[in-house]
Structure 1
């Protein structure tokens, strides 16, 4: 598409003809590649992507993404095809994703950290026509399905030019898989119209400028990566892609932020807490976005005191990343309530009671979301779609709504405040988890009669998964965890196991999860010395990690019994910036029997 030459308007630093940007109702129709090409022609030699010491200019990124589109088309990829992407974070990543979109296809992200069985399920359930991987991730893929494969390191230097398909708003941009209560992940397809409405809304508020340097640290299997990778490139800004190793290490991550003077950063509360507890502080030139789970007031206080702007972001995957945002103010902190913010343009919020009636102000109910941002429905899962999406009139322009399962309160001024979940869905480090999926996997284990998983918080208010097992015979904890690791991502594996004879029940004879949580001992993460003791030579670490952690002749050992819960590690080893903690030798989970409850 040729670049517009006159009568332009800007949102932030996004450039497009006035008729496209002046009315937000037009935003879903705006082609992404049109805005990206505008920037590549305006600023061809400006740095678009940085990964470590390597950089791509806008001219180079446009060429690379076009070459990827040519390669996909040359191998028979058609408009609407699904292309699975399983590769480590690298300089090439934005070009790969852009190339898929420019070829008219839809990308399906699969984190290389996922077990190979889960990646195989995603490939099968997404109907992926092809897979793009790097050499390192090839071994995770099924041997033959799908047969069309692209390896990043094998991309030809020259490819025959081809006509690229027109951008169609109703086509899919991406298909992302989230935890499913049935024991199998479910696909959430997002249209290009929904993605563009989201990106242009974000360009407007919280806002982005061509001078911004944007942190990109999130796996593409988490939908908030859409903001990090795609928004800067339509605004003429620079994306700093961070390796997975650096994203998990507060020392490395803070160095990346400080040395590159990054200005726009998005992360979950867990990551902001990781940095803050390490000793990093934001600067006044920085804008921080925080979302994925509830924003703790203590963390918000610390960030607002230092940063230029701090924003609370809210939204489910089914409504395209974030559906509202709110700049956190001193007034919010003084009242102890951080609102979710007003819905983005072309999105509607309604708070309903259990009968589907709008609740009055100063009351609580379930948040329903309608508008252009909604997914068409769970991919090939009509029964799940019917359960979570409802048709309703009289609430505004939208007639189809997603029932979020989030309990919110409507304040007197109309602001919404998140209260709790209405179901068994939880968030761990920003990842959405259906506890039923973990339980369904556990019930397939021969030694397990029944299983319940609950979420609670540890001593530093970090979320923790706890597994309760009714065994047929006592399962081996290490084998149990190893089996789960072959099917589920690490963040879905319980940190602590308890064996019980029976589960408490409600009057309706349902498992009483609240009583299970309340039955946990105060210091339930502190192992007894005879259970999975992990030796660490550090007195403060022993205090924080619990009585089960004793001195050893080894200078340092792994703290992976709690599945790499980095925040507690940082609390234990809090030290001046510059000191370094090395972790080695993974061990098994902490376990208890019913006598200790």
Structure 2
């Protein structure tokens, strides 16, 4: 007997996403559908924009079996572009404007785009692609053509339930991103399930913070519009800044937000207090118990969500219990089956770990550009009664607990989740080995002295001279997005090996004990000395100097906010996050007030600030 946990099942409905999402818009025509700052679209205006853009896309050749690239900033154009593409019968392909141009060009070429939706500020991000028409949405010259098209109504029926709704690229172990094709029926099932639990109502306001290239944006952009709620789109700079995001949540009176644990910590560190009506949706990486407790104290409820891209965003969910010391990933969403299988493909008993395998209506169509990988990961479902049913082998380990809930236990392979991103270390290793100065490389996640998990690259130099971390990161940025750039780069004479030839990961040194350079710089400016000391503490690198850039030295957005918060507590000055990203620490130090000492005393004001910060984080005793 299978120990799978099927969610409640309903007859499969052959629905297309746009028709499902827009079905109720006419009943709430005057209500705000999408907003950002002073820009607002009612549901009637949203329908007009979608219908006209769909007509223009159809005139340019978009339709069933075709793909439309979307390379836009986070504005109200974004949901319009997604829904117009789906209404046209085509699949949308997210192209993040912050990705390196080579990566975007590869994704566009693989996808064989017929149209690229973009805006004037991003026209140069992607090179021209044969057979692909650029549609620049904010170009005045395009407006007459948009005005002249025949609007396409929501019930045009230009797509079928089994057609692809989107093609999304994830990190790939071969050195190139791999595409996953997700059909309309899977997205429709997902939206119907999420609307029921965790739930979404017309009275809700959801703040969307996730880039379109991360599949959890499907929930943020489509679920509010399906439910008749209000979608508030946070600009990229706001989504990355805890203080600005807190202000947006409070000013919009938001009632729900979905984000990774990293973003929720940013909010807590910025002093967000939540409200009894607020729902917290967390996913993308493991939810720490302390964070779950802190969020539960500030909200109506915290939902821990789990699911790989290949099974359409989220496949299981669990409402956090305030007195729980163990975090679960819960039970399957509707029309979804979850099995925990052993090496022979048999169900594991309660409490026994095995591989999590997922079946049901949420399954994607696999990897359209890699038939072998699709056959390996999508296997025949031995428990299904329907012929042709499949299971997706997630590579995640889990076990069923006695309370009927699923617990996540990590990975079978070396794939990792860090700050919400799915990372194949093999992709980074491949790019490092392609560099002329690197003979071998291995990438893993280590917990550094700051207590934070960090992406660490171990390299073996090709010649006598070891390349600098700055040079290596600069080279990697030409090929990889920011979330794949290692925070620490450690040189080794050779990778440690076991007798069988495999890398001995247990013998890899922690970064702080294998610095790429040894220096004990003298400081003439106490402000620079204090700033460098804080950066060394937060990043866990004792080789940082005033010449370094915070992010080049291994920092990331969460650590950056912690740095700015500490500096504000000590000096009363709040520095700009973008300035930190684009300047050396020495230049940043010059903006600090005179009189700061290398070891600032714990003044009553600073002590009170730290106590408040600790309470916001839900830590015993207050101080972090």
TM range, smaller chain: 0.7 to 0.9
Q: How does 1:430-449 map to 2 (within 5 A)?
A: 430-449=420-439
The residue that corresponds to 1:375 in the other structure is 364
The residue that corresponds to 2:561 in the other structure is 570
Deviation, structure 1 residue 551 = 7.0
RMSD: 2.6
SS of equivalent residue, structure 2 residue 454: strand
What do the CA deviations read for 1:101-128 (whole angstroms, capped 9, x no partner)?
1111100001000000000110111121
Change (3 A) 1:433 1:25: same
Which moved further from structure 2: 196-205 or 469-478?
Answer: 469-478
Change (3 A) 1:283 1:509: same
Number of corresponding residues: 558
Between the aligned partners of 2:13 and 2:516, the Cα distance in structure 1 is 52
The residue that corresponds to 1:18 in the other structure is none
Q: How does 1:212-361 map to 2 (within 5 A)?
A: 212-331=204-323, 333=324, 336-361=325-350
8 Å Cα contact 1:131-1:146 kept in structure 2: no
Change (3 A) 1:415 1:156: same
Between the aligned partners of 1:423 and 1:316, the Cα distance in structure 2 is 15
The residue that corresponds to 1:388 in the other structure is 377
Deviation, structure 1 residue 585 = 5.9
Change (3 A) 1:56 1:478: same
Deviation, structure 1 residue 27 = 5.4
8 Å Cα contact 1:51-1:242 kept in structure 2: yes
Deviation, structure 1 residue 462 = 3.2
Deviation, structure 1 residue 256 = 0.3
Deviation, structure 1 residue 587 = 7.1
SS of equivalent residue, structure 1 residue 494: coil
8 Å Cα contact 2:535-2:550 kept in structure 1: no
8 Å Cα contact 2:186-2:363 kept in structure 1: yes
Please point out which of 473, 479, 485 is paired with 2:477: 485
Please point out which of 80, 93, 99 is paired with 1:108: 93
Change (3 A) 1:542 1:369: closer
8 Å Cα contact 2:51-2:151 kept in structure 1: no
The residue that corresponds to 2:143 in the other structure is 156
Change (3 A) 1:439 1:548: closer
8 Å Cα contact 1:532-1:588 kept in structure 2: no
Please point out which of 404, 410, 419 is paired with 1:420: 410
Q: How does 1:86-125 map to 2 (within 5 A)?
A: 86-125=71-110
- Give TM-score, length-normalised by structure 2: 0.84
Change (3 A) 1:325 1:156: same
The residue that corresponds to 2:606 in the other structure is none
Between the aligned partners of 1:437 and 1:366, the Cα distance in structure 2 is 23
Q: Are residue 457 (structure 1) and residue 447 (structure 2) matched?
A: yes
Which moved further from structure 2: 254-263 or 392-401?
Answer: 392-401
Between the aligned partners of 1:82 and 1:521, the Cα distance in structure 2 is 43
Please point out which of 163, 169, 189 is paired with 2:161: 169
Change (3 A) 1:347 1:584: same
Between the aligned partners of 1:483 and 1:588, the Cα distance in structure 2 is 19
8 Å Cα contact 1:560-1:587 kept in structure 2: no
SS of equivalent residue, structure 1 residue 142: coil
Change (3 A) 1:456 1:298: same
Deviation, structure 1 residue 540 = 4.8
Deviation, structure 1 residue 211 = 0.4
SS of equivalent residue, structure 1 residue 403: strand
What do the CA deviations read for 1:374-412 (whole angstroms, capped 9, x no partner)?
111112201111221211313666841111111112212
Between the aligned partners of 1:465 and 1:532, the Cα distance in structure 2 is 29
SS of equivalent residue, structure 1 residue 73: helix
Q: How does 1:65-104 map to 2 (within 5 A)?
A: 65-104=50-89
Which moved further from structure 2: 310-319 or 71-80?
Answer: 71-80
Deviation, structure 1 residue 471 = 1.1
8 Å Cα contact 1:462-1:567 kept in structure 2: no
Between the aligned partners of 2:264 and 2:168, the Cα distance in structure 1 is 24
